[in-house]
Amino acid sequence: MPRIVITGAGAICALGHDVPSIWQAMVEGRTGIGPIRRIERSLLRNGGIAAEVSDFDPALHFDSARLPLLDPLSQYALVAAGEAIAQSGISFEGERAARTAIVIGTGAGGESTRDEQYERLYREGANRLHPLGIVRMMTNAPASQISMVHGITGPAFSVSSACASSNHAFAQAVMMIRSGLVDTAVVGGTEACITLGSLRVWEAMRVLAPDTCRPFSAGRRGIVLGEGAGMYVLETLELAQQRGATILAELAGCGMSSDAGDIAAPSELGASAAISAALRDAGMSPSEVDYINAHGTGTMANDSTETRAIHRVFGEHAHALAISSTKPMHGHALGAAGALELVAVLGALRDGVVPPTLGYLGPDPACDLDYVPNQARAMPVHAGISNSFAFGGLNAVVALRRAP
């Protein structure tokens, strides 16, 4: 099978509008979580906090003809994809356009457009809604917009599996490249879920933290929503070497599983099956892994279950692993979570720095591993994995090695 490498990375989230800014914030342990600014505080019933993308002016990125077609879901995806493609230096002219896939993960779709249209319909009693509402809110809009902006004519589609969407998208892209269907893929995830409607349904589940996100910590009280996008250029090692591209890392393996259990409660067996499958696919032994970017949502159930899954797969080596969740910095971006968290894995592999788990107050007996609390750690990282475990019992894990 051809080896798959990453040659371009782009991202936007509450920590910054590009990968260098986001990675620097992660290393410094800065958080993008704060009071929600775009929704009237009196309408919110919980802590009223989230990790919003700030200081973002769409008019600086998109012309007046395209902007009405773009929900923030697609805006974030296009900004991140543009950065990744520019860094990769790849051209989609000629045959390359048809030999490139686009696979984009998203859990919710165009929530801002949906909220706006439903407010007009139900509050204002409008008889007609905006004619571009469907093309703004549909989950495939980001993939379609990227294809049109960059002239990519190969397979383009979206993957939706809640919080595992991005990692499932990576797996789909890897399989298409390995099969020979395409040579290159633009792949990642995007989410723009900080809307009144979205926040209200998350409040109803009673999983939103009122103060901040504290994964694996004593006193943790739940998740904090985030938004943004992460996009990457994948290609075969052979193609990357032929065109002299800078290789950021090898995407060595992917693992997927389904719990076939509870729609909301996580499963140690399902999570560990996906981790083991990713290691097998990558040809890695558990002892080769130095760093895990954990799903680490900050809920009581997720963090203890993920800890048990790591113990199950890694045995004694589990205590030698550096494990961190970056969600206290960029929030839980649902379908974009895995794509944003890949910034942390790439940075750790390249720079030998593991970002911290912020908000850590002290150990929980159910979470007994090394979670790199509160401060980044300098250490060599040769291989790492990134976990994503979703409602519905859908699990996806990716394994990466340092650039060959």
CA separation for the pair 143, 136 (Å, rounded):
12
Active site residue 382: no
CA 188 from chain centre, in angstroms, equals 7
Q: Of the residues 168, 254, 332, 367, which is catalytic? A: 332
Cβ atoms < 10 Å from Cβ of 219:
11
Q: Of the residues 13, 17, 150, 163, which is catalytic? A: 163
| Residue 400 one-letter amino acid | L
Active site residue 163: yes
CA separation for the pair 341, 25 (Å, rounded):
13
In Å, how far are 95, 181, 186 from 98, measured between CA atoms? 6, 10, 12
| Residue 365 one-letter amino acid | P
Q: Of the residues 17, 168, 295, 330, which is catalytic? A: 295
Q: Kindly report the CA angle at 227 between 115 and 54, in degrees rounded to 5?
A: 95
Q: Which two tokens stand for residue 380?
A: 């060599």
Tokens 């994948």, residue? 234
Tokens 């993008």, residue? 32
Active site residue 295: yes
**Which residues are the active-site residues?**
163, 295, 332
